Chain A
């Protein structure tokens, strides 16, 4: 057992942040020592600095009981004690999740390299050697409490943001068409639609949608806002609102893009934009009209003529970059048995061969291979997705959207 030296008061400390100070002063500190005298002296020491929430224990076992009642913010711990010593207690506390991160300040007369190493090995945060010097123990107490509260604050903040991002991801999933909606397109229009949306670990800017216009017209779109994160994700929700205000123009995709472009040009940050393809299927005419603004080229297979999927042009200035841009309207056949695949860049910007992206040409070959395989039609889109995951692994850092539309020509409706 060693003695304690209470030094003369030091000159005034510099001003502290008062709010922060209150939190530190309210901290619960557990002093564990088998000597009544040392416990009292350390307690008195702490009280001179404004700490009042102090509890005591005589040995490790006793300390565990006190901790059980209320978890302390800091433990000042002697090493040599009967029943359960300081090493044992350290080890025990570090093995329990709820106490694993409590700072433990060792005060001990044992100061050999072996003792110090062992204490740190068992999970001590810091060590002061007896004789205890008041200002040393107060300074270290403060450092460890500050550290604990900062980490706590950061962890809380991190957890809150993570949970909010998770909710946002769910909301993005919610705006995708449901299975029932997709089934209704099959029944009413004879359109077989497959929809796959996978948000990335960060929030992303992919969005797509379907709009029934009248008995023979269905509009659809796929869009991707530049950048990642909250701003891109929030813009996907704004896109829905803008588009719903343009419903009278759904049969004129070029007009939709012109209006959206000017709107985004006024409202997005400079250099931000959205790529988009807006299309309208005319089932009576067996045609598809679309306008594009720099999206990935869609894959189209025309039921009548060619059994192969081909890449169609999707060139166009991304929306929002240049004001008053004119978009071209393209009209192509989309007769019975025609198929269309729209996709976001994640699908092709994935490593195929070493250091080489799959690219749109690579995707075209792959789609042709899958669609000519002898597998059930409903297995084709899942097969495409399965192959994507094989390449991307768990590292996908961009949203993935794939929309498949097939004109079956059969409606179940009256």
Chain B
């Protein structure tokens, strides 16, 4: 996994690329600290360049959502593609969080 973080007007955007898998667990936890920092009003995880995700990765996205929910932040997944989009769909994540296509 590669990530790039940008902040504009209190809006946090985390863009993920390549693969989100079990091995990214520690890196992802670091990113969650940003979500939990109380410095932002909203959080968008940009999945446009994320090629694949495994079951552990899907779990991490749910943890990110729950972290934002607890912190009272708006949360959105943006532009999932291919296998990532399919897995989010089959897992009904759209019934829990906002997914922008």
Residues of A within 8 A of B (CB): 224, 226-228, 270-273, 275, 294-295, 297, 314-318, 321-322, 349, 357
List 15 A-B residue pairs with CB atoms under 8 Å apart, sorted by A's residue number.
A226-B55, A227-B55, A271-B56, A275-B91, A294-B90, A294-B92, A295-B90, A297-B90, A315-B89, A315-B92, A317-B91, A317-B93, A318-B91, A321-B62, A321-B91
Judge whether B90 and A314 touch: CB under 8 Å: yes
**Which of A226, A315, A316, A357 contacts B58 (CB under 8 A)?**
A226
Interchain nearest-CB distance for B71 vs A (Å)? 15
Judge whether A316 and B92 touch: CB under 8 Å: yes
| B92: A residues at CB distance < 8 A | 294, 315-317
**Which of B62, B90, B91, B93 contacts A271 (CB under 8 A)?**
B62
Judge whether A318 and B96 touch: CB under 8 Å: no
| B89: A residues at CB distance < 8 A | 315
Seed contacts A294-B91, A316-B92; 6 additional CB < 8 Å A-B pairs: A227-B55, A227-B56, A275-B91, A315-B90, A316-B91, A318-B58
Residues of B within 8 A of A (CB): 22, 55-56, 58-60, 62-63, 66, 83, 89-93, 95-96
Judge whether B83 and A271 touch: CB under 8 Å: no
Residue of B nearest to A357 (CB): B83
Interchain nearest-CB distance for A264 vs B (Å)? 12
Interface of A is mostly: loop
| A297: B residues at CB distance < 8 A | 90
Judge whether A226 and B91 touch: CB under 8 Å: no
| B93: A residues at CB distance < 8 A | 317
A357 to B56, CA, bound (A): 19
Residue of B nearest to A272 (CB): B59
| B58: A residues at CB distance < 8 A | 226, 273, 318
Residue of B nearest to A274 (CB): B55
Judge whether B59 and A273 touch: CB under 8 Å: yes
Judge whether B95 and A271 touch: CB under 8 Å: no
Residue of A nearest to B62 (CB): A321
| B56: A residues at CB distance < 8 A | 226-227, 271
| A317: B residues at CB distance < 8 A | 91-93, 95-96
Interchain nearest-CB distance for A82 vs B (Å)? 58
Interchain nearest-CB distance for A398 vs B (Å)? 9
Residue of A nearest to B91 (CB): A294
Residue of B nearest to A320 (CB): B59
A381 to B98, CA, bound (A): 40
The 4 closest A-B pairs by CB, nearest first: A271-B59, A226-B55, A294-B91, A271-B63
Judge whether A271 and B96 touch: CB under 8 Å: no
A228 to B96, CA, bound (A): 26
**Which of B22, B59, B83 contacts A321 (CB under 8 A)?**
B59
Q: Given A314-B90, A315-B92, A322-B96, decide whether A271 and B60 contact each other with a Cβ distance below 8 A.
A: yes
